[in-house]
């Protein structure tokens, strides 16, 4: 699980977070300090026990030691209270309290669920990145087996899964309702198989599928992909060379039945009993989150999951989900606006955008997207370069976390120098509580974003700038 993601969840949900630093001191976020009465913690163990309100002894020490050794640990000292110990570096640990004794029961459930979702998001993003890296390598080394167009299409699908996972987390943090949509499970399975094929071929594992033409389920595409990918990917990793992984989907009355079967080593009775527990895994490189995510997703969709397995006889996962009415996919997916058509040609020609982004990949994407739309840009990687840029600019896109300055502070400086007036701050994190009042942006552009989202933001900034300029001259 990403430590940065856990810090963000703690900040957003007002949870106590403690972290051992390289210097030997213990850092505490503002919510932990409030619970500790403003007193800086002397040690991680002592601070955690103070938060819990009583001495915990060996179980707490064991959880911290496991985290220092690189293994996440969950500790439930009392009903309704959970402590998560996670690695924070070499022989260092961090602690997240998903509830305190004073929290009401509803708040405890929401915070614990959000912490679990954060772990799931980290897992889903890692899966998506694995597929992206794998297909990029295959396309480069064996273009005859993976034509660039096919590889790019699959890479885009994987990136969309990662983006949807992070947006799910944001929606939960904001307590927004999750909107359902109808999705063809058969189409999802075909995509998952194509993404898994390079890894299966390397392991000499056969992938088989029996898929009906269309099996519509009331769920988001990202949710169904998470289910299929986790089950099939786990199966491919478990079976030996020459083994087989098969996926079947078929209508079953008012349900849609999905089955993922493998002829791997199977599980003992004890292993089967713990298979869906978070962080439980029988593989050294596993996270223990895949099956927990699958069960949670299936249950959230009103479905059921069953595992049949025994030693030496493989495993079979059978999932039943409520069927949705048949609707053409073209009616469900809104047509995307071409990024080059978002702005009017004359509007684009007059615009000049300053882009401040330290990530080379993101900076290159923004520069290319603007160029495709006919918008001139000056793209730099640091606050120092931005301050040296020759303006003024029609608008600015500034990353919140630059290596030499925070984005809102830089925006205030650029405004004071007359280089830019209107701007958007780009970040996957929420606005900082101590944001510079002179650096308040007109827009917050949430990462990850689509090129079309980017151009809509630029258009709004440029149009507002033109309106202000026209009003001043009249």
Residue 258: inside a domain, yes or no? yes
- What are 108-124's pLDDT values in tens digits? 344 444 444 455 555 55
Region 371-379: mean pLDDT is 87
Decide which of 267 and 149 is more confident: 267
Mean pLDDT across the chain, nearest whole number? 78
Query: In this model, does residue 433 exceed pLDDT 60?
Result: yes
Query: In this model, does residue 11 exceed pLDDT 90?
Result: no
> For residue 354, what pLDDT is reported?
95
Region 167-191: mean pLDDT is 64
**Same-domain status, 68 and 156:** no
The C-alpha angle with vertex 150 and arms to 149 and 151, in degrees rounded to 5, equals 95
Q: Which tokens hold the place of 156?
A: 């885009």
| Maximum mean pLDDT: which of 274-278, 301-305, 393-397, 399-403 | 393-397
Decide which of 175 and 58 is more confident: 58
Residue 27: inside a domain, yes or no? yes
Q: Where are the beta strands (DSSP E) in 168-309?
A: 182-184, 206-211, 216-218, 244-252, 255-262, 304-309
> For residue 455, what pLDDT is reported?
86
**Same-domain status, 307 and 344:** no
Query: In this model, does residue 156 exceed pLDDT 70?
Result: yes
Q: Which tokens hold the place of 130?
A: 């694995």
Residue 401: inside a domain, yes or no? yes
Residue 334: inside a domain, yes or no? no
Residue 99: inside a domain, yes or no? yes
Distance linking the first and last C-alpha atoms of the chain: 56
**Same-domain status, 127 and 71:** no
CA 260 to chain centre: 25
Mean pLDDT check: name the lowest of 5-9, 287-291, 360-364. 287-291
| Residue 220: partners with Cβ closer than 8 Å, 6 or more residues away | 164, 178, 179, 180, 181, 183
Q: Which domain holds residue 358?
A: 339-473
CA distance 40 to 28: 7
Last-in-domain residue among 56, 79, 103: 103
Mean pLDDT check: name the lowest of 23-37, 57-71, 145-159, 404-418. 145-159
The alpha carbon torsion through 38, 44, 47, 52 (nearest 10 deg) reads: 140
**Same-domain status, 120 and 250:** yes
CA distance 254 to 427: 43
> For residue 472, what pLDDT is reported?
46
> For residue 3, what pLDDT is reported?
74
What CATH number should be reported for the domain holding residue 393? 3.40.50.2300
**Same-domain status, 59 and 116:** no
**Same-domain status, 399 and 448:** yes
- Indicate the number of domains in the chain: 3
**Same-domain status, 47 and 165:** no
> For residue 469, what pLDDT is reported?
53
| Maximum mean pLDDT: which of 49-58, 153-162, 392-401 | 392-401
> For residue 119, what pLDDT is reported?
52
**Same-domain status, 420 and 454:** yes
| Residue 274: partners with Cβ closer than 8 Å, 6 or more residues away | 280
Residue 420: inside a domain, yes or no? yes
Residue 463: inside a domain, yes or no? yes
Mean pLDDT check: name the lowest of 18-32, 160-174, 233-247, 381-395. 160-174
Query: In this model, does residue 175 exceed pLDDT 80?
Result: no
Region 223-236: mean pLDDT is 88
> For residue 287, what pLDDT is reported?
55
Instruction: Name which of 83, 36, 31, 80 is nearest 56 in CA terms.
Output: 83
For the beta sheet containing 92-97, the strands, ordered from the edge strand earlier in sequence to the opposite edge, are 26-28, 17-20, 92-97, 81-89, 73-78
- What are 245-264's pLDDT values in tens digits? 999 998 888 889 999 999 99
What CATH number should be reported for the domain holding residue 193? 3.30.565.10
Query: In this model, does residue 21 exceed pLDDT 60?
Result: yes
Query: In this model, does residue 106 exceed pLDDT 80?
Result: no
The CA-atom distances, in angstroms, between 398 and each of 82, 402, 428 are: 38, 9, 13
- Sign of the dihedral through C-alpha 422, 427, 428, 434: negative
**Same-domain status, 99 and 13:** yes
Give the CA radius of gyration of the chain: 25
**Same-domain status, 175 and 285:** yes
Cβ-based burial of 448 (10 A; exposed 0-12, middle 13-18, buried ≥19): middle
Q: Which tokens hold the place of 435?
A: 């944001």
Last-in-domain residue among 329, 355, 381: 329
Decide which of 38 and 467 is more confident: 38
Count other C-beta atoms under 10 Å from residue 4's C-beta: 12
In this prediction, residue 125 has a pLDDT band, given cuts at 50, 70 and 90, of low
> For residue 233, what pLDDT is reported?
87
> For residue 261, what pLDDT is reported?
94
Decide which of 2 and 321 is more confident: 321
Residue 383: inside a domain, yes or no? yes
Mean pLDDT check: name the lowest of 171-175, 370-374, 465-469. 171-175
**Same-domain status, 291 and 165:** yes
**Same-domain status, 300 and 426:** no
CA distance 82 to 72: 13
CA distance 84 to 318: 31
- What are 30-71's pLDDT values in tens digits? 888 877 877 777 888 888 888 777 666 678 888 888 889 988
> For residue 54, what pLDDT is reported?
63
What CATH number should be reported for the domain holding residue 86? 3.30.450
| Maximum mean pLDDT: which of 43-57, 79-93, 241-255, 430-444 | 241-255
Last-in-domain residue among 329, 361, 380: 329
> For residue 288, what pLDDT is reported?
62
């Amino acid at each position: 699980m990403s430590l940065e993601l856990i810090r963000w969840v703690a900040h957003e949900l007002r949870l106590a977070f403690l972290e051992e630093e390289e210097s030997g001191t213990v850092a505490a976020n503002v919510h932990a300090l409030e619970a500790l009465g403003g007193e800086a913690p002397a040690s991680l163990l002592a601070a955690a026990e103070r938060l819990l309100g009583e001495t915990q002894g060996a179980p707490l020490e064991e959880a911290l030691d496991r985290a220092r050794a690189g293994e996440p640990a969950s500790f439930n000292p009392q009903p309704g209270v959970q402590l998560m110990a996670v690695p924070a570096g070499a022989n260092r640990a961090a602690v997240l309290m998903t509830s305190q004794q004073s929290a009401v029961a509803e708040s405890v459930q929401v915070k614990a669920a959000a912490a679990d979702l954060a772990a799931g998001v980290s897992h889903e993003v890692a899966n998506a990145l694995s597929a992206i890296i794998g297909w990029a390598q295959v396309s480069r080394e064996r273009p005859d087996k993976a034509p660039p167009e096919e590889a790019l299409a699959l890479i885009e699908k994987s990136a969309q899964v990662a983006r949807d996972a992070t947006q799910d987390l944001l929606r939960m943090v904001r307590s927004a309702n999750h909107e359902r949509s109808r999705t063809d499970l058969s189409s999802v399975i075909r995509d998952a198989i194509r993404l898994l094929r390079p890894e299966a071929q390397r392991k000499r594992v056969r992938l088989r599928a029996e898929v009906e033409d269309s099996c519509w389920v009331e769920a988001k595409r990202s949710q169904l992909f998470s289910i299929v990918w986790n089950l099939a990917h786990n199966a491919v990793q478990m079976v030996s060379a020459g083994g087989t992984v098969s996926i079947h989907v078929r209508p079953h009355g008012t349900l849609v039945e999905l089955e993922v079967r493998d002829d791997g080593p199977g599980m003992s009775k004890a292993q089967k009993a713990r298979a869906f527990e978070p962080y439980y895994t029988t593989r050294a490189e596993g996270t223990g989150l895949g099956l927990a995510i699958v069960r949670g997703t299936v249950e959230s969709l009103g479905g059921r999951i069953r595992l049949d397995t025994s030693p030496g006889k493989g495993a079979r996962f059978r999932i039943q989900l409520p069927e949705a009415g048949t609707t053409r996919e073209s009616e469900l997916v809104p047509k995307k606006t071409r990024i080059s058509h978002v702005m009017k040609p004359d509007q684009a020609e007059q615009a000049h955008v300053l882009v401040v982004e330290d990530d080379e990949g993101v900076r290159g994407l923004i520069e290319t997207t603007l160029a495709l739309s006919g918008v001139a840009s000056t793209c730099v990687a640091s606050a120092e370069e931005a301050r040296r840029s020759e303006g003024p600019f029609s608008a600015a896109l500034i990353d919140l976390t630059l290596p030499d300055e925070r984005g809102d502070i830089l925006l205030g400086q650029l405004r004071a120098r007359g280089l830019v007036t209107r701007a958007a701050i780009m970040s996957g994190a929420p606005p900082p509580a101590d944001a510079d009042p002179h650096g308040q942006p007109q827009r917050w552009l949430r990462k990850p974003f689509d090129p079309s989202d980017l151009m809509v933001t630029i258009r709004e900034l440029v149009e507002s700038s033109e309106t202000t300029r026209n009003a001043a001259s009249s």
